[in-house]
Amino acid sequence: MATPTSTSLLKMENIPNKGRGLIATQDLKAGQIILTESPLLLYSASPLFTPAPSPYCHHCFRTLNPSQTFSCPSCSNYNFCSQKCLSIALNSSHSPWTCQTLSHLQNPTSPLLEKPSEVQVQARFIVAAYNIAIHTPSIIQTILSLHGDPNDHDSIVDNAKFLHSLISPFCPPNMNFSAELAAKLIAKERLNSFCLMEPYSPKGPQRSIKAYVIYHKATFFNHDCIPNACRFDYVENGEPGDEHNTDIVIRLIKDVDVGSEICISYFRINKDYLTRKRILMEDYGFSCACDRCKIEANWNDGENNSDLPHVIFLSKFVCDKENCAGTLAPLPPKDGEKSNVLECNFCGNLKVDSSP
């Protein structure tokens, strides 16, 4: 697990045609950790109605050991990997209010039963957000300050009205919750959340999402299809109850000069141009104008492009392990010397970089 990193390496600026972004305040080395940050909000990606219980701790999202689980004393749907995780959750993410509300929403007569899984997961999010608003209002204000507007997305407004109508009867009377607030929160989550993925398996299916997370500073990294940084998480590492296992770690792929913008990719970098274009428009509402996209938009079938800088970049920094295609980044420098060992942010594989 990486140790927390000073944010003095970064500053926020308005980037032309991009909005807010993060800029290097000094020359930085490949492999350097430039940000480590804990979640503002974390919640399960499982629909409320599933045929099998979640195999992950509902606090730290480590894989549960079937022979040693700790259940919520008030409900049977939520399990934890340790007594410590259970105790922390009962005083935070799985408070008595959350437990009661989720139990009502998961009642066999609940209107959510007939709703798509997306709406069931949004219900989890609204409960998690309202719970934070009850106990730590400043965090909700931080989330509301992030980018995202529900006005252009009618489905968000409709879902928010429906979900608020189900959840509001259980809300404390002194809280000014509303369908409008729910819509704003869903819009913020849509554009600012990161995914915690299931453990990698070389023979298994593509990894599914086990939890969604909102971080504060990390959300300001803009996208680039040839990024100079990538994210790591170490959910399965550390001891049960270690609250930092869901921290996000941003590490540089290559050297970055002072004043340069630091960008990550919002998905695995080996995707083709049309797929990238579709995902960015559908999920994030913008078209990418990076150098790679400008080149690939005009590619001809059968054209040999092996000598282009971004093709060389992909051949070096895309993991070739079976069922992976994650992004490789050097291990952190030691004693000022850059490492020639690359780590995959998807499967954790280590590879010696033999290129000059």
- Tell me: pLDDT of 5 over 50: no
Torsion, Cα 218 223 229 232, to 10 degrees, reads 50
User: Quick one: 182 and 236 in the same domain?
Assistant: no
pLDDT in tens, 52-82: 889 999 999 999 999 999 999 999 889 999 9
Average pLDDT over residues 185-209: 89
User: Quick one: 53 and 149 in the same domain?
Assistant: yes
DSSP state of 211: E
Q: How many domains does the chain have?
A: 2
User: Quick one: 262 and 346 in the same domain?
Assistant: yes
**Residue 145 in domain:** yes
User: Quick one: 220 and 247 in the same domain?
Assistant: yes
User: Quick one: 268 and 124 in the same domain?
Assistant: no
- Tell me: pLDDT of 137 over 50: yes
* DSSP output for 300-311: -TT---TTSHHH
User: Quick one: 68 and 173 in the same domain?
Assistant: yes
**Residue 265 in domain:** yes
Q: Which of 143, 160, 194 is the last residue of a domain?
A: 194
User: Quick one: 141 and 285 in the same domain?
Assistant: no
User: Quick one: 146 and 29 in the same domain?
Assistant: no
pLDDT in tens, 234-260: 999 877 767 799 999 999 999 999 999
**Residue 102 in domain:** yes
User: Quick one: 267 and 168 in the same domain?
Assistant: no
Closest CA to 195 of 266, 282, 98, 118: 266
Give the burial string for 3-35 (b: 16+ CB within 10 Å, else e).
eebebebbeeeeeeeeeebbbbeeebbbbbbbb
What does the alpha-carbon distance between residue 130 and residue 197 come to, in Å, rounded to a whole number? 24
- Tell me: pLDDT of 108 over 80: yes
- Tell me: pLDDT of 296 over 70: yes
Q: What is the pLDDT of residue 136?
A: 95
What does the alpha-carbon distance between residue 313 and residue 159 come to, in Å, rounded to a whole number? 42
Structural domain range at position 323 = 18-38+215-297+304-352
User: Quick one: 345 and 223 in the same domain?
Assistant: yes
pLDDT in tens, 267-286: 999 999 999 999 999 999 89
**Residue 8 in domain:** no
3-state secondary structure of 155: helix
What does the alpha-carbon distance between residue 215 and residue 180 come to, in Å, rounded to a whole number? 22
The pTM for the full model equals: 0.92
DSSP state of 318: B
Average pLDDT over residues 167-176: 93
Q: What is the pLDDT of residue 2?
A: 41
What does the alpha-carbon distance between residue 70 and residue 57 come to, in Å, rounded to a whole number? 9
User: Quick one: 253 and 124 in the same domain?
Assistant: no
Mean pLDDT of the chain: 92
What CATH number does residue 288 fall under? 2.170.270.10
Q: What is the pLDDT of residue 303?
A: 65
Distance of CA 245 to the CA centre of its chain: 13
Q: Which of 194, 227, 246 is the last residue of a domain?
A: 194
Q: What is the pLDDT of residue 356?
A: 62
User: Quick one: 183 and 237 in the same domain?
Assistant: no
